[in-house]
Amino acid sequence: MGLSLVIAPSIVIVGILILVFGLYRLRSGEISPRLQAFVAEQDDDVRRWIGLFSAQTRELSGSMTSRLILPFLKRIGNFFGRFTPTNAIENLRQSLYVAGNPIGIGPGEFLGIRLALVLAGLLLAFLFLRRDFDRTNILIAILIPLACYILPILWLRLLVRSHQNKIRKGLPSALDILSVCVDAGLGFDQALQRVSNQWDTRIAAEFGRVVSEMEMGLSRREALRNLSDRLDIIELSSFVAIIIQSEQIGTSIANTLHVQADQMREERRYRAQEKARTIPIKMLFPLAFLIFPAIMAILIGPAIPQLLSLFSSY
């Protein structure tokens, strides 16, 4: 009992001394930096693992087409692109840009898709010839690879023509807004920026790119010429040429915009009239091959059994 009365206070005193010494060491700053370094190392490890996890998540994001098929086609296209002339690659890149970069492919992916289609066509042709080596299968075996080679180019040309027609239709309205903005006191650059901010069309996006190029240091003349070269539209090229000429001469840009808007609106009306004149010719083929046979079947069909019975009696 007496020994416990001596040991218990001794343990309490030793604990108090250890606590005081520890607090003094922490206050002196010798242990605190080590604890902070340890915590920082743990935080770095956590950040590293989080970064790896997020990188894996980013790598796994997207569809199978964008992660597997398109890179494979791009490698194939880049390999065969080495043997393709540079001018052809540049023309293909410009066509894809005018077409709005369909499905997000570049020249390499497009060449890879063409090659993959041609190989698939050759495989189908081999299967047809293997089944039966007659004249019909030989003709089909020749036409399938040829169609697989031509169809991507036709598809791209249709997209280019469609986007160019959309730009032609929106150009007069864009010039009207430009002229209104210039009449209101804005400069030509600010008017282009206003059109690009207010509209969600292709021509507005192209005007925004012109403003961005001028902000990057290009002159107005160079930015407008780049716009004309990118889109390759006759009406837009004439508009750019007249704007550059009016800037060189020193005439009013507002008047130039008014005249150009009226002229392009007239040209749009003439194009609509020209398309309207071609409608009867285009309707001739469905009338001759689809509508007239049905009408003749309805009109003459009920009389055919009577005519057959009449002539069979003789």
Do 173 and 153 fall within a single domain? no
Number of domains the chain is built from: 2
Q: Compute mean pLDDT per 10 residues along the chain, 314 residues long, and list them.
A: 47 51 47 49 50 47 59 65 72 84 78 83 84 80 88 90 86 85 85 86 87 88 88 86 84 81 84 86 83 82 78 66
pLDDT attached to residue 154? 92
| Distance, CA of 26 to CA of 195 (rounded, Å) | 65
pTM for the model: 0.62
Among 146, 162, 178, identify where a domain stops: 162
Do 150 and 179 fall within a single domain? no
pLDDT attached to residue 303? 79
Q: What's 215's domain CATH number? A: 1.20.81.30
- Establish if 9 belongs to a structural domain: no
Do 169 and 273 fall within a single domain? yes
The residue segments making up the domain with residue 168 are 164-277
Do 242 and 168 fall within a single domain? yes
- Establish if 177 belongs to a structural domain: yes
